[in-house]
Amino acid sequence: MAVATGSLDQALTHASRLLAREPALAEAQADEILRVVPGHPPALQLLAAARAAQGKLDTALAVLEPLAASQPRWAAVQFEFGLALARAGRRDEAIAALRRAVTMQADLPQAWRVLADQLRATGDIAGAEAACMEHVRHAAADPRLLAAGAALAENRIPEAEGLLRQHLREAPTDVAAIRMFAELAARLDRTDEARQLLERCLELAPGFHGARQNYALLLHRANLPERALTEIERLLAAEPDHPAHRNLKAVVLCRTGDYRTAIDLYAGLLDEHPDNASAWMSYGHALKTAGLTDRAIEAYRRALGLMPSFGEVWWSLANLKTFRFSGEDVAAMRAQLARIDLADADRLHLDFALGKALEDAGEYAASFRHYEAGNARRRGQLHYDPSETHARIEHIVRQYTPEFFARRAGSGSPARDPIFVVGLPRAGSTLIEQILSSHSQVEGTMELPEITLITRLLREQADVDSAMPYHDALARLDAGKLRELGERYLAHTRIQRKTPAPFFIDKMPNNFMHIGLIHLMLPNAIVIDARRHPMACCFSGFKQHFARGQSFSYRLDDLARYYTDYVRLMAHFDRVLPGRVHRVIYERMVEDTEGEVRRLLAHCGLPFEGACLRFFENARPVRTASSEQVRRPIYREGVDQWRHYAPWLGPLEQGLGEVLRAYPVVPE
């Protein structure tokens, strides 16, 4: 395109567009403009930028030095000059030019970034950090980051990733872009990558509080609460009144069981921000877990007063189990469900909550319709394949044989501290935990995620083409490595222990899948299997909306297959590790509480204590859906509650087959 065929402005615009993808053509275009209009400053700037993009630093500087001298108040030229000087290794001159650029025009984020890099290279760490924070402050003005941010906000993930990768190739120290890329990686469950990106971000910009907040949240989600609290304390040291930092601290403290401190933090936040419905809900969760039910209900009501469509709060009230909705509550929930603009998440939670309200009112057909609708909506959001679970069970049965364990006898940590309570959700595991934790030598903690984290660690160590990576990696570990895993488990769960009791409970039900791992790394740990009537257990799971996990629980036939696979797996371990697992049948516990409690304590090697029969007096925090139920004596009503729904449970009954007919015996 010759200048003669269009205006000068059009020629410059065309050359600018070429600069990013075809710098040689941009250089040719700038030369053509300068042939027609010699000495034209914008064309000279473009020519220098095109040469620099091709690595022609000497010829670029030959243009920029006289241009910068003749245009001392032109910030963009000073930035271009500073950038070229930096690339040429002329650091002091680069710093001077970059300082001139940002003094004249502060909203040049990449000028601040390059200035930070140059100052860091000279050893001026304080100056580098100050420049870096100016870069962060003005990053919103960068059109490339704006485009990437818009793509991320609209969930156009591949586009956002492409834009960020390209930008970081050109500007690898752009901490705003690194933080954005970390957010993208976290969304895709590339947790380790996200963590490494944020660590790099904070290495470059220790004062980047937004990135540190993200890092602390990521550590919390990775079940590293001690490290998360360290980062949060650094944030609070710099910004003691910052509501997001205080809120995150409360969240992490709830994870570590420090509910009283968390409750105080939430109360302080709500004094300052009383119109935050989400904060009222979080406050309610903490109060509920601490056993302060009336205050929890009041907090949930405050949240609904601010946001009547807040489905998760309606479900939180239903999830108290002992709470009963009023007629006005039912009408309010129905009114919200009738809205065409109701968000899917709110609709899902409201269906589960209304199902519970109608169940309490004895309207079982209508109740089931709402449970069914909530489950169908949730099932549509998940990617659960029951055949994958079945294949995993079959692999475990084949791998973990008596010979497999015999070859590894004597491995693992000798510690006896943990008591693992496993089984299916809603099978009575919280009741067992409450009974055991009422003993003077046992501390109740929570559903600890550490076993799952260890399986992920093993999965990362396996061959990339392994069909069952975690199990294959575990099979290759020697006695020393198995002991290390046991010691790791004890170290990582220590933060949950608040008393000197010699035993503690890990009540993660899904750990029944990992009996082999538990036995190998902690051979002296106690394992209790909580089992409940298949129809009662499965239907109780069907009407429970779980915060996370339990993807099998949202369809009746999936529940039947999962329960059947669970029974098969536990029967296998009964055969290959006889006596290793003590089974508690829920219905027997209801009928003969003292006898079952005595047998349970004897298996754990604990003397009988009467407090274990008065478990409902135990004021310890309880985090599961049964938190209110275990604060009262054992009652029979829950045993046969599922029978009200029998007309609609055909797929469940049929899928359970012989496992149901033989219960509590295990079929051959």
CA-based nearest residue to 448, from 534, 518, 502: 518
Residue 416 backbone dihedrals phi, psi, to 5 degrees: -110, 5
CA-based nearest residue to 389, from 559, 269, 507, 245: 559
pLDDT in tens, 156-192: 899 989 999 988 988 899 888 998 899 899 888 888 8
How far, in Å, CA of 461 to CA of 579, rounded?
A: 32
Residue spans of alpha helices (H) in 408-449: 429-437
Residue 336: pLDDT band with limits 50, 70, 90 = very high
How far, in Å, CA of 516 to CA of 232, rounded?
A: 37
In this structure, of 45-49, 204-208, 631-635, the range with the lowest mean pLDDT score is 631-635
Q: What is the mean pLDDT of residues 583-590?
A: 93
Indicate if the pLDDT at residue 633 is higher than 60. Answer: no
Question: Burial level of 593, CB count in 10 A (0-12/13-18/19+)?
Answer: middle
CA-based nearest residue to 477, from 452, 494, 457: 457
pLDDT of the residue at 637: 62
pLDDT of the residue at 635: 59
Measured CA to CA in angstroms, residue 117 lies from 114, 123, 277 at distances of: 5, 10, 43
pLDDT of the residue at 149: 83
Residue 15: pLDDT band with limits 50, 70, 90 = low
Q: At what angle do helices 125-138 and 175-187 cross, to 10 degrees?
A: 60
The number of C-alpha atoms within 13 Å of 218 and in the hemisphere containing its C-beta is: 25
pLDDT of the residue at 627: 44
CA-based nearest residue to 110, from 78, 86, 139, 87: 139
Name the average pLDDT for the chain: 88
Q: What is the mean pLDDT of residues 30-53?
A: 79
The alpha carbon dihedral of 262, 264, 270, 272 has a sign of negative
- Which one has a higher pLDDT value, 447 or 212? 212
Q: How many angstroms from the chain centroid is the CA of residue 512?
A: 22
Domains and CATH numbers, the chain: 321-381 (no CATH), 388-624 (3.40.50.300)
Residue 655: pLDDT band with limits 50, 70, 90 = very high
Q: What is the mean pLDDT of residues 232-246?
A: 92
Indicate if the pLDDT at residue 299 is higher than 70. Answer: yes
3-state class (DSSP) for residue 441: coil
